[in-house]
Structure formats: C-alpha cells, structure tokens
Structure 1
Amino acid sequence: MRGDREFRKVRSHGVAVRDPLFTLRVTEYRPRHGETWRPRAIIGLVVSKKTLRRAVDRNRARRRVREALRTLPGGLPACRAILLPNPAVLTVPFSELQAALTRALSRAPGRAKRGGQGGNGPQGGRQGGGGNAAGPRPVPASMPPQDPATDGPR
C-alpha cells in the first residue's frame, strides 16, 4: 500500500482478525482512483519499535511474513490489509506461520462491513452543514415514480 490515506481507510473500514502471531485488519479490494479493476491482494506490513526494539528483528519479521504470504499454498484473496506481526513471528516455525496466515485470511469476511453504524461519519450522522443534499432523494417503494414534466397539483 502507498500513503497514509490508504492505511487510514483500511484502519477505519477494515475488520480486525486477531491471532497469537499477528493482527490482520482486512477490507475489500477497491482500485485506486483512475486505476483499472485488477482484483489482487494489497498488504501493508507494520512493525513498530514498540513491538520489536531492534531494527534487525523488525526487518527479519517483515522478511519472514512477506515470504510466508508469497508462498501461501492457496494464494491470497483480493483484499486490502494491514498486517501487524507480534514478536512470536520470529520464533515460530515457518509452517506454523503460514498456517496461521491461512486461517486468518479464511476467517476474514469477503466483504468487510462496519457493524451497526449508519451514515458516513464516525458518529453515524450526517457530515456537513445540513440542509438539502445535492443529490436526488430515494423514493420509497410504496410511491410510484413521478414524471417531472407532469409534476403539478393533482
């Protein structure tokens, strides 16, 4: 993934899948603006200094996880994800790391949705100054659509 904006989108809209070896935050695949539709896995690895103090360990954890993802037997599903490895990634056998990644990716929902919140904002309400929206309003199913040319008093 490139840029803070993509990471923020996955953090805010993704579903967290926790494992003793790592935390995986997954959301569905969407192409970047202007990009053609090519479903693929786009995964960002984040290893903080708080998790692993030494740069050597952080780099080794990144290399192990990257190789485990690259050589997964079933391949990777089309998604955007952030993977946050724990220190146990350095000591666990490679086959167990691959098995844990496979389990986590299979537990991740196909289309990740935010639970129970409506609207666009984090509070579930409307954003902006209120008033009339710039777009057309949805028509309830019980009302027949009206023709704008004959829209007058009845």
Structure 2
Amino acid sequence: MNIRVGQGYDVHQLKEGHPFWLGGIQIDHTHGAVGHSDADVLIHVICDALLGAANLRDIGFHFSDKDAQYKGIDSKILLKKTLELIRDKGYEVGNIDTTVCLQAPKLNPYIPDIKTCLAGVIGTDMDNISVKATTTEKLGFVGRKEGVSAYATVLIYKK
C-alpha cells in the first residue's frame, strides 16, 4: 500500500465583529478570524496537509489570496477542490488529526458538529477525523485572544 503523510499549520488574526468559521460551521462569538476567504483556520490546515502529503505544494499556491475569485469564499469549497486535486493523483484520505489553539470560546461543545461537517465534505466516516482543542494558558497571541492557530496531520493512501 502506498501511503503518505502531510502536515499543516495556519494562523488567523481575530477581530471583533467578524464571523467565526471553524471546521465548516459558524460559531457564535464576539470575535472572528480575518482572512481573504472565510478564514476557517481548521479547513485551511487540513487543505495544506492534504496538498503536502500529495506533493501538490500548498493552499496559497492553489487558492491565492491575490485572486478575487476566492474573496470571502466558503472554505468547504476549497476543501472540496483540494480533495479533487489529491484524488486526481489517485489518493484517498485515510485519517486526519487536528489541533486548534484558541483561548476562547471553548470548542468542546462544537467538536461533534465540526466532525460531522468535515466528514460530510470529505466523504469519510467521522471516526477518521480527530479534532482537538487547547488553549495556550494565556500565553502569546493566542493567549491574548489576538488570534487562532491550528495544526493538522493527515494520512493519504493510493487507491
């Protein structure tokens, strides 16, 4: 079996009054992530990890923030396009392991909905997607509630 592993990392600034999208769902919060698209940091790291695993460069290469067609785009669309790219090379998603670093809000109540959403977009079982959340114990830009960061590791395999 031909398997490959990829990893992703992303950061977005948080600002008051912006919508907060994470893992394809909107979370009610006073602050949301800022970005060219909907700034869904979790989907962005998953895309980066998948693209890296398939040796297809990164999310910025395929979906440039200089390209007007991606302004405000729903990141679920970017994930679908990423899946098309890796599937065109004959790969399928094995599993995805993610960690979101965010001081507030607490994400635990939202994780089942995030996993359901991601599994639906990817076309896989929820058991193949892990979403973990942590704070930075009030340290750094995450701890000061200035931003959100996320990490992803993925396994893909040749069909």
TM-score with structure 2 setting the length: 0.24
Structure with greater helix share of residues: 2
TM-score with structure 1 setting the length: 0.24
Larger Rg: 1
RCO higher in 1 or 2 (8 Å CA, sep ≥ 6)? 2
